[in-house]
Amino acid sequence: MNPMNPMNHPIQACLFDLDGVLVDTAKYHFLAWERLANELGFSFTEKDNERLKGVSRMASLEILLSVGNIQLDELTKMTLAEKKNSWYVDYISKMDDTEILPGALAFLQELKQHGIKIALGSASKNAMTILNNANLVPYFDAIIDGTKTTNAKPDPEVFILGAKEVHIAPEHCVVFEDAEAGIEAAIRGGMRTIGIGSADTLTLADYVVSSLAEMSVEKLQRIMSTAT
Ligand code: BG6
Ligand code: MG
């Protein structure tokens, strides 16, 4: 057996980012950040918001403040991040399974039927609230979120922990991500990647689909046996 041949590494675990991959919560992050920017006296566009995807809460605030050209002390920054989070939590506390993104549920069900492990790898500290409200918890063999990690993506920690918890070696794992930082984290963790979104943005991904509605287990194994 040639260990360099990807045919010898069928996928045994799928690791999913949450926001923008499984659920449509990226819009709520945007609404809350936009509200904060407006309170601080500047506007914040959806294009600016792209830079926040996959980035931790405090790092997101730093980017937002740089857009507004505002410098603040650490205590004020903490207060503002908490304020943004309280608005965000208000939004997600009302969400339900209608905010699961197209194809996500069917793909999770198919993976389960095939005995492929499923793990969450999210930067969010609110991941459990979202998974509970969307009734997604039962699908996961491991849930790694922002409460369990110390290093934010593009550090590979979140995915390495996920792979360890499901006992699958990185070369048998594939990561589904909508953020460039997340794709980079997966690559640094030695895993293969499927980008959710546009191939123009997710240039480092092995393969890009516009949503999980384009995925099936048969396609996954086929793509991953040819991906380099
Ligand atoms: C990521 C989002 O999943 O979680 C980021 O893409 C967000 O936009 C990050 O900043 C942290 O989320 P939270 O819920 O802990 O503020
Ligand atoms: Mg995301």
Place of tokens 């699908």: 139
Does the annotation count 17 as an active-site position? yes
Say whether the peptide bond before residue 102 is cis (omega within 30 degrees of 0). Answer: no
Residue 6 is predicted with a pLDDT of 41
Count of residues in the chain: 228
Decide whether any atom of ligand 1 lies within 6 Å of the 124 Cβ: yes
User: 6-10, 62-66, 120-124: which range is least confident on average?
Assistant: 6-10
Tell me how many degrees the CA angle 201-15-149 measures, rounded to the nearest 5. Answer: 90
Cα-Cα-Cα-Cα torsion 108, 191, 63, 123, nearest 10 degrees, comes to 50
Burial label for 5, CB within 10 Å (0-12, 13-18, 19+), is exposed
User: In ligand 1, which atom is closest to the CA atom of 125?
Assistant: 15
Residue having the nearest C-alpha atom to atom 14 of ligand 1: 124
Phi, psi at 120, each rounded to 5°: -100, 140
Hey, how many other C-beta atoms are within 10 angstroms of the C-beta on 58? 12
Residue 8 has pLDDT above 70, yes or no: no
Query: Which of the listed residues 15, 24, 28, 29 should we mutate to test ligand 1's pocket, taking the one with most ligand atoms within 8 A of CB?
Result: 29
Its pTM stands at 0.93
Decide whether any atom of ligand 1 lies within 6 Å of the 221 Cβ: no
Question: Which strands make up the sheet holding 173-177, listed edge to edge?
Answer: 142-144, 117-121, 13-16, 173-177, 192-196, 207-209
Residue 7 is predicted with a pLDDT of 45
Phi, psi at 69, each rounded to 5°: 55, 45
- pLDDT band, very low/low/confident/very high, at 225 (cuts 50, 70, 90): confident
Within 8 A by CB and 6+ apart from 21, the residues are: 101, 104, 176, 177, 178, 196, 212
SS3 100: strand
Residue 9 is predicted with a pLDDT of 54
- pLDDT (tens digit, 9 = 90+) per residue, 107-155? 999 999 999 999 999 999 999 999 999 999 999 999 999 999 999 999 9
- pLDDT (tens digit, 9 = 90+) per residue, 37-54? 999 999 999 999 988 988
